[in-house]
């Protein structure tokens, strides 16, 4: 994997995407094809931390799967080389990539206040490198949510210590939380590292009162490492989020990473995931035909 530097980050086009955010969608937006792929989270498949999530994601028609690292006590479960090999062998057998990891232990050891949280983030980096993925999702929810400026600053300072190792390994640490896009960028800027980016969740941001289309355009493609698509408890397209506008915004800013469905399954995993995937594939296809 390549080493990320601040020069690389600038060359990724942050200036161009920021211009899109301030000037609105360009006249040629309809001609820009969707570049991102659609994956799914193992926990929404009800297969958290299970190898079976790979085959199920493939069967349902997804492009990839986001895998949980697991909640350990003395070590993270996916740090086991034998388990890593089992996942990678299954990924190869099925023909479906594992495209990112989730450090869900931060739901227990909060990065904003628990020293163990810092250790787990550091430990996730060699796991991600061994698994051949680029992004590790860092969640901040519930009691671990970032409620004050002081907590945000503390997280930024903590990640500043860890970020050089992530840069060296070519790993991105993605912030998924309940705060604004601007606050996420302020945290990332405080780390002084291109290895810390925003993991943008349209459902979380909508629920917390933010205009997701405006925020995506303001962030630009270079400051978003991955995206969660959901409008829970609704099926995609049946709630309040305009997914056509979301897909348009992601395409206009040149986002070319992964968008994961983190959608609820009230009836069945198979039926509900297929329904939501079919909807978002339809939105993408319509965009690409325009």
Q: Which candidate, 207, 263, 262, places its Cα nearest to that of 234?
A: 263
Report the chain's mean pLDDT, rounded to a whole number. Answer: 92
Q: What CATH number is given to the structural domain containing 239?
A: 3.20.20.150
Task: Find out whether 259 and 37 touch, Cβ atoms under 8 Å.
Answer: yes
3-state secondary structure of 7: helix
Check residue 290 and give its pLDDT: 83
Answer whether residue 28 shows pLDDT above 60. no
Q: How far from each other are the two terminal CA atoms of the chain, in whole angstroms?
A: 35
Tens digits of residue pLDDT in 50-71: 999 999 999 999 999 999 999 9
State the average pLDDT over residues 168-193.
98
Please give the residue range of the domain that contains residue 140: 6-289
Report yes or no on 254 lying in a domain.
yes
Tens digits of residue pLDDT in 115-160: 999 999 999 999 999 999 999 999 999 999 999 999 999 999 999 9
Report yes or no on 1 lying in a domain.
no
Answer whether residue 250 shows pLDDT above 70. yes
Percent of the chain at pLDDT above 70? 89
**How many folded domains does the chain comprise?**
1
Percent of the chain at pLDDT above 90? 88
Of 290 and 77, more confident = 77
Residue 141, CB-side half-sphere exposure with 13 Å CA sphere: 14
- Whole-model pTM: value is 0.90
Sign, CA torsion 68/70/76/82? negative
Report yes or no on 97 lying in a domain.
yes
Report yes or no on 51 lying in a domain.
yes
pLDDT tier at 1, thresholds 50, 70, 90: very low
Check residue 33 and give its pLDDT: 92
Contacts (Cβ under 8 Å, ≥6 apart) of 121: 103, 106, 111, 136, 138, 158, 159, 162, 173
Question: What is the 3-state composition of the chain as percent helix, strand, coil, each rounded to the nearest 5?
Answer: 50, 15, 35
3-state secondary structure of 74: coil
Strands 196-201 vs 172-176: parallel, antiparallel or unpaired: parallel
Tens digits of residue pLDDT in 186-240: 999 999 999 999 999 999 999 999 999 999 999 999 999 999 999 999 999 999 9
Contacts (Cβ under 8 Å, ≥6 apart) of 214: none
Check residue 31 and give its pLDDT: 60
Report yes or no on 221 lying in a domain.
yes
Check residue 72 and give its pLDDT: 87
Read out DSSP for 173-191? EEEESSS-HHHHHHHHHHH
Of 178 and 29, more confident = 178
Answer whether residue 4 shows pLDDT above 80. no
């Amino acid at each position: 994997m390549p080493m990320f530097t601040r020069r690389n980050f600038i060359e990724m086009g942050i200036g161009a995407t920021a211009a899109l955010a301030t000037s609105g969608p360009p006249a040629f937006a309809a001609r820009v094809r969707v570049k991102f792929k659609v994956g799914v989270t193992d926990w929404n498949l009800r297969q958290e931390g299970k190898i079976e999530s790979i085959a199920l994601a493939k069967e349902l028609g997804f492009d990839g799967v986001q895998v949980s690292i697991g909640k350990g006590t003395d070590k993270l479960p996916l740090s086991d080389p034998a388990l890593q090999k089992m996942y990678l062998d299954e990924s190869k057998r099925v023909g479906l990539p594992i495209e990112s990891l989730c450090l869900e232990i931060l739901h227990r050891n909060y990065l904003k206040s628990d020293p163990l949280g810092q250790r787990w983030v550091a430990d996730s980096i060699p796991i991600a490198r061994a698994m051949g993925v680029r992004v590790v999702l860092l969640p901040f929810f519930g009691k671990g949510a970032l409620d004050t400026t002081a907590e945000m600053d503390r997280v930024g300072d903590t990640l500043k210590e860890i970020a050089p190792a992530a840069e060296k390994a070519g790993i991105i640490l993605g912030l998924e939380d309940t705060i604004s896009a601007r606050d996420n960028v302020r945290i990332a800027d405080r780390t002084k590292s291109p290895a810390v980016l925003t993991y943008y969740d349209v459902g979380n941001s909508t629920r917390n009162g933010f205009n997701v289309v405006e925020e995506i355009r303001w962030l630009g493609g270079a400051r978003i490492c991955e995206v969660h698509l959901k409008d829970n408890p609704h099926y995609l397209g049946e709630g309040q989020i305009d997914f056509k506008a979301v897909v348009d915004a992601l395409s206009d800013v040149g986002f070319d990473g992964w968008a994961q469905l983190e959608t609820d399954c009230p009836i069945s995993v198979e039926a509900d995931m297929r329904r939501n995937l079919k909807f978002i594939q339809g939105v993408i296809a319509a965009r690409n035909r325009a």
